[in-house]
Structure formats: C-alpha cells, structure tokens
Structure 1
Amino acid sequence: MCAYTSDFELSSYDYILPPELIAMHPTHPRCDGRLLVYYRESGRIEHRHFRDFCEVVPRDYALVCNDTKVLKARLYASREGGESVREILFHKAFGKSRFLVQIRGRTKVGAVFRICDRTKYPTHFSMRVLEVLDNGLRVVEFGSADSSAPLGISELYVMLESCGHTPLPPYIKREDTLEDSTDYQSVFASNAGAIAAPTASLHFSEEDFARIGALYKVCFVTLHVGAGTFANVQSQDIRAHTMHSESYALSSQARDAILGDSKLLCIGTTTARVVEYFWRTHQSQGLCDLFLHPGNVPQRMDALLTNFHFPKSTLLMLVSAFVGREEVMRIYECAIAHKYKFFSYGDGMLIL
C-alpha cells in the first residue's frame, strides 16, 4: 500500500464522536458486546456480537493473547499535616525500592504522604517524594509503620491490592467500583504489572474463553500496558512521535507460533505490537517501543481484534497501518452510524 502524505498528518486521524457513544460501563454479559467484522480482501462489513466469535473466525488461526494483569494502581493519600486527599497513579518500578508515580497537584522533594484505604482513611503506609522529573513524574519510596526498610516491589503489590483502586481511564469520570476490579481485567490475566487493561481481551468470559481454547490454538505474550497508551501525539508529522516503551515477554508457545506457519490473530493492539516487535528483533523479552503506522506496517499479523480508539491516537494509527487510513475512517463512520460503543469498555472490531 502506498502511504500518501496525508497518512502522516496528525489531523488525518481526527473524527467526531458523539459523547453518548463513549462507554462508561462494560456490557454484561460480555458475549452481548457488539462486534463489527471487517474483511480486508473485500472491504465487507458485518455486524455481529461476541457470541458469534467462533462462528466468524476460521479454525486455522492461532490466537495470541496478552496475559498482563492490571494492578490496582490508583491510590489516594493525604500529605502529612492535614492536607486534603490527593490522587496518585503508580506507574512502574524505578529500582529495587524506588518507583515512578504521578501525583495530582504540585509536590516538592521531601514531601511525605499517608496512603489511604478505600474509604479515604489514612493507613500505616506512607510515601516519600525523592525526585521530581522533567516529565512531571515523581520518584518515590513507600514505607510501612511495621518496618524501617522501604517496600520492595512484591510488598508494594500487596499494598496496592489492599489499598489501591482500579485505574479506570481518565475519560471515565466516576469512582471505580468493586465490579470494575473484575470488569477491567481479562479472564486470563496472570502476570501483574499493567496500569491499563488490554481492552480487546475484556470481551471474553471464562466460559467463552474455554470454548475458544477447545477450538483454536491459543498462546500468550505479556506486555505491561503503561500510561503511555493514553499519551497524545504532539507532532503534526506522526513519524516524529516518540513512542512510549513497555516491558514485554513471550512464552515459548508464542515464539513458536510467530516463527512458524500459523495464521496469527492478535487479540488487541498490545499483542500486535509484541508480535511485530519480536518478528523484527527475535528478542523474547525487554522493552517494546514499536510504533506501527502506515509508514511502518505489520509484517507478521494476519488478523486483529481491537476496540474503537481515540481520535489522533497511536492505536488508531496502528489499525490504519493494517487496514489503510481511509478505510479505517470509513469503518469508523459506519460504527458511529450504527451506534457502536467506543473506547475501553466499548464494543469490538474484528479485522480478518
């Protein structure tokens, strides 16, 4: 496919979405979610539901899934001295007992916060700001009244599980609920480390996925989705965008499937990035910063299950790399006309 100049202009990836089509809650049961099926060879569009998945996908596809597990990465804390409660978003480890976080509001080096529980009542866990980085993130350490040593990564994960909240995307303007801790997690999530869900995976219930496993070869990769998935593209020429990096690893079954003859259906854009990064580098683990767009198209992926993405996002550009930008915009116009739900808790799109 020839990539025209407009394929690299940020404004070419804009579209108008009626606010009522932004999903604020998931579909229950999951199989009732709507599924737009697009056939690349003919350009044909079908309107289905996720209960039809096995009816639509040919049996010769191998499914590659991202088994990352979303942490309860959103915390609330009060600064020592009686300040009102602040929101904190855990990002990732920055050393043995140092971590990167985002703190709402201004914060100076040396500030100490008391972590709150789900009722916003202070706990015996604390957080001290060690550095303020140029990108606005803070390097911090966490502590506990039970020990003089700072928390390590495993201890921090225990604290997040007890005190943290589900990190719903920033456009969902509501408090998380106990239901979100299940809804915003895939049924095959097993490796903790993400702060955003690989949302194409959210459409499958345990029963659905068991049925899929009986009919298809299924293998797993792990990519810990970070906050960069919501980062805006700032450059007008999208090729100048610096892609965020996220840690990844592949199972031996996934490596064999990618290097073998199987037709690959990637469950989600995060999985697609791992598959394509491994295909180019043959590195089974590390940091993935692959930016797929119409000037850097997929080489190994044969099919893709994904949600409907934000205007001007790198995820929309990834889908455009696979289908073509103008065709993606036609598909999105169709989805809007048929009132599909968009974004993380929204409906899905299967590209065959």
Structure 2
Amino acid sequence: MKLEDFDFDLPEQLIATRPVSPRSAARLMVVEQDQISDRMVTDLPDILRPGDLLVLNNTKVIPARLFGTRTRDGNVAKMEVTLLSPTPDGGWTALVKPLRKLKDGEQVEFSGELNAVCEGRADGQARLRFNLEGTAFDEALHLAGQMPLPPYIAAKRAADARDKTDYQTVFAKETGAVAAPTASLHFDDALLAQLDARGVTRTEVTLHVGAGTFLPVKVDDVKTHKMHAEWGRVGDDAVDAIERTKAAGGRVIPVGTTALRLIETAATGPGKIAPWQGDTDIFIYPGYTFQLTDALMTNFHLPKSTLMMLVSALMGQDRMRRAYAHAIAERYRFFSYGDASLLVP
C-alpha cells in the first residue's frame, strides 16, 4: 500500500479560507455505499434516523499562536511561538521560530501580563514555563494569542478575531487542543435542537487535537508510518450511550475523525467499549476492522494524509476516489473551513 494511492489533484481555489455563515449552511456530500447525493448540513435531521447516536469531540481550541520578543544584551529579537501540549509539571512544549535565537533560561515577552522562560530545547521544540497558571493564564492567553489556523489557511491570510469564534465548536468545553475537530464546526444550536426533536441522540468524548494532525506522511509504504499521539478520554456517559445504541440497533456515528479514532481506541471488541483515558496513536488505514463506527461525518481531507487513509479504510479506496472526484467536479469546499461529507459504508 503506497502513499501515492491516496493522492489526488485539488484545485487551489477549492481550499476554504473562511467558513460559510451560518455554520450549518455548509454543503454535505452523502456517500451511502455506492450512492452519492448532494445535500446540505441542515438536512441532517432528515437524513439521520431516530436512535442514531452522534459522538462529538468537546475539546476546546486554545489561541496557541503567540508573537513576542526576546531581549539579550539590549538586542531585541522577534519570536513566534505555537503551543503544542502541556507537560505534566505545568509547562508547555512549543514550536519557536527562530528557535536558534532562544537560549535556555531566556524569557519571551508576549504582553504586559504574559511571558515565558525557556527551560530546554529538544527535537526542534522548546519547553516553556509561563508566569501565570490556571484561569489567569487562560485569560492572558485569550488576549495575547491567535487561533492556530492550519498551515494551508495561514499561508493565505493571518488569523483574526473572527477565528476565535469560527474555529471553535459550539459545544467546546475541555481546553487543550491546538487544532479544531473541524467536522463539528458545522453544528449550531438550531441544528442540535432539530436533531434532538428527530430523536437523534448525542454524547461527548474529548480528544485534544495536536499540531501533529497536519504533519505530512513521509514514508512511501504507509504501513510503516508512525502516528503522532494525542491525549483523549472516553467517560462512563459515552460508554453507556454507545452500548445502549448498539443494543437497540442504532448507529454510532462519530462526528469527525478525532472522535472516531478515540472510540476505536477505547473499543474492547465488536460493539463493546470501556472507559478510557490516555494518549492514543491509533493509525487506521485500509484493512482495519472497525469495532464501533457505523458511519462518519467528516470534512474533506488533504491528499496523501492519514485521514484520507482513514476514510478509505471505512469506505474502500475505489469508492473514496470516486467520491472525491465528484466533490471536486461539484466544487465542494475543502479542508478545515470547508464543506462536509457523511460516509455510510
């Protein structure tokens, strides 16, 4: 299984740099076995069945991109910092540009309230310790930071105030992601209420999406690719909801690849799941046997990406090639701020 098997040509103008408004007005390509239909996200209450369960990722994206200065012997250097993940001792790992201009023990000033000291460097990353913790840190970060937009958007425009709303789900609760679970961006309160009325249930899990989600696959034989790890949790409520749905003959439908990867990590067998917490590096590619997932709502993914491999595992490679060719021909909007698909194998 070669990396080129998951490649396709995407016209650059189909890469969305802003979401539609309202967020539920995005288009929805429904692929049910070999049938493809063009719908809208607002059609979900008509498409889904009573008793279906949506599994939502309630992670909350932090404004992880910071701009500051380092002063040494009266010389000031501009620094760009992207927070990656908290460390067990209360620090943060971060990407720093230019890392070569930051030494251990030096301080970066981000605002009058927020600064960080470099405590070490390894593997192209820095370990930072901020001067604030808890709520004070969250508030200062919200004021000083920008949303960490994906590289393919950041290359076209800078993040702005709109992104602090646009790049956050309406049910975000658990702080810790540096990338959004983007399929969930299509849901607003009105759509959730309509799904409730339809009898479509939902439950929440937490997977803190990391910057590694944007890392390219660099091996030709995809089976040798090493996935990045991300922290997640599946609680008792989610376990109960999934097992009740399975027992009643309903469908378990993760919203987004992050929710799918997490529940498949926590699965203990076909249709079975247990509470789980920790780092997952599950890599799903064609040949994988799904334990819990009956369908998937997801955005359109990058060529040669692990997520393209995941949807191909669910639907089959030939089917996904046809579906993506249809999406391009019909000018669906791609990637994080783009349109959505509902994949039903």
TM-score of the two chains, using structure 1 as the length reference:
0.89
State the match for 1:170 in structure 2.
Answer: 151
Q: Does 1:319 align with 2:311?
A: yes
- Contact kept in structure 2, 1:38 and 1:349, CA below 8 Å: yes
3-state SS of 1:35 partner: strand
Quote the offset at 1:60 in angstroms: 2.7
State the match for 2:203 in structure 1.
Answer: 219
State the match for 1:129 in structure 2.
Answer: 118
Quote the offset at 1:31 in angstroms: 2.3
- Contact kept in structure 2, 1:65 and 1:218, CA below 8 Å: yes
3-state SS of 2:310 partner: helix
State the match for 2:276 in structure 1.
Answer: 284
The alignment yields a C-alpha RMSD, in angstroms, of: 1.5
- Contact kept in structure 2, 1:73 and 1:164, CA below 8 Å: yes
State the match for 1:308 in structure 2.
Answer: 300
State the match for 1:108 in structure 2.
Answer: 103
Quote the offset at 1:269 in angstroms: 0.4
User: Structure 1: which 4+ aligned runs deviate by more than 6 Å?
Assistant: none
Indicate which of 258, 264, 267 corresponds to 2:252: 264
Aligned partner letter, 2:126:
R
- Contact kept in structure 2, 1:30 and 1:203, CA below 8 Å: yes
3-state SS of 2:323 partner: helix
Task: Give the Cα separation in 1 of the matches to 2:75 and 2:187.
Answer: 44
Task: Give the Cα separation in 1 of the matches to 2:165 and 2:135.
Answer: 21
- Contact kept in structure 2, 1:294 and 1:324, CA below 8 Å: yes
State the match for 2:188 in structure 1.
Answer: 205
Quote the offset at 1:97 in angstroms: 2.8
3-state SS of 1:210 partner: helix
State the match for 1:5 in structure 2.
Answer: none
State the match for 2:237 in structure 1.
Answer: 253
Indicate which of 14, 28, 43 corresponds to 1:52: 43
Quote the offset at 1:175 in angstroms: 1.6
Quote the offset at 1:48 in angstroms: 0.7
Q: Provide the identity percentage.
A: 39
Task: Give the Cα separation in 2 of the matches to 1:61 and 1:342.
Answer: 26
Quote the offset at 1:111 in angstroms: 2.7
Aligned partner letter, 2:139:
V
3-state SS of 1:351 partner: strand
Task: Give the Cα separation in 2 of the matches to 1:328 and 1:56.
Answer: 20
State the match for 1:20 in structure 2.
Answer: 13
Task: Give the Cα separation in 2 of the matches to 1:213 and 1:165.
Answer: 34
- Contact kept in structure 1, 2:68 and 2:108, CA below 8 Å: yes
Task: Give the Cα separation in 1 of the matches to 2:10 and 2:302.
Answer: 9
- Contact kept in structure 2, 1:233 and 1:314, CA below 8 Å: yes
Task: Give the Cα separation in 2 of the matches to 1:212 and 1:312.
Answer: 34
Task: Give the Cα separation in 1 of the matches to 2:279 and 2:87.
Answer: 14
Quote the offset at 1:155 in angstroms: 4.0
How far does the alpha carbon of each residue in 1:258-280 deviate from its partner, in whole angstroms, 9 at most, with x for none? 33424201100000011111114
How far does the alpha carbon of each residue in 1:127-186 deviate from its partner, in whole angstroms, 9 at most, with x for none? 11111112x11111112xxxxxxx335543232122111111111131212111111111
Quote the offset at 1:315 in angstroms: 0.8
- Contact kept in structure 1, 2:236 and 2:275, CA below 8 Å: no
Indicate which of 58, 63, 67 corresponds to 2:54: 63
- Contact kept in structure 1, 2:79 and 2:108, CA below 8 Å: no
- Contact kept in structure 1, 2:113 and 2:140, CA below 8 Å: no
3-state SS of 2:267 partner: helix
Quote the offset at 1:253 in angstroms: 2.4
3-state SS of 1:83 partner: strand
- Contact kept in structure 1, 2:68 and 2:78, CA below 8 Å: yes
Q: Gaps spanning 5+ residues in structure 2: where?
A: none
Indicate which of 70, 83, 86 corresponds to 1:79: 70
- Contact kept in structure 2, 1:77 and 1:86, CA below 8 Å: yes
State the match for 1:182 in structure 2.
Answer: 165
Task: Give the Cα separation in 1 of the matches to 2:286 and 2:146.
Answer: 37
Quote the offset at 1:83 in angstroms: 2.7
- Distance change in 2, residues 1:34/1:110 (3 Å): same
Aligned partner letter, 1:62:
L
3-state SS of 1:345 partner: coil
Task: Give the Cα separation in 2 of the matches to 1:88 and 1:184.
Answer: 19
Aligned partner letter, 2:152:
Y
Q: Gaps spanning 5+ residues in structure 1: where?
A: 1-7, 117-122, 144-150
Task: Give the Cα separation in 2 of the matches to 1:326 and 1:153.
Answer: 49
- Contact kept in structure 2, 1:96 and 1:153, CA below 8 Å: no
State the match for 1:3 in structure 2.
Answer: none
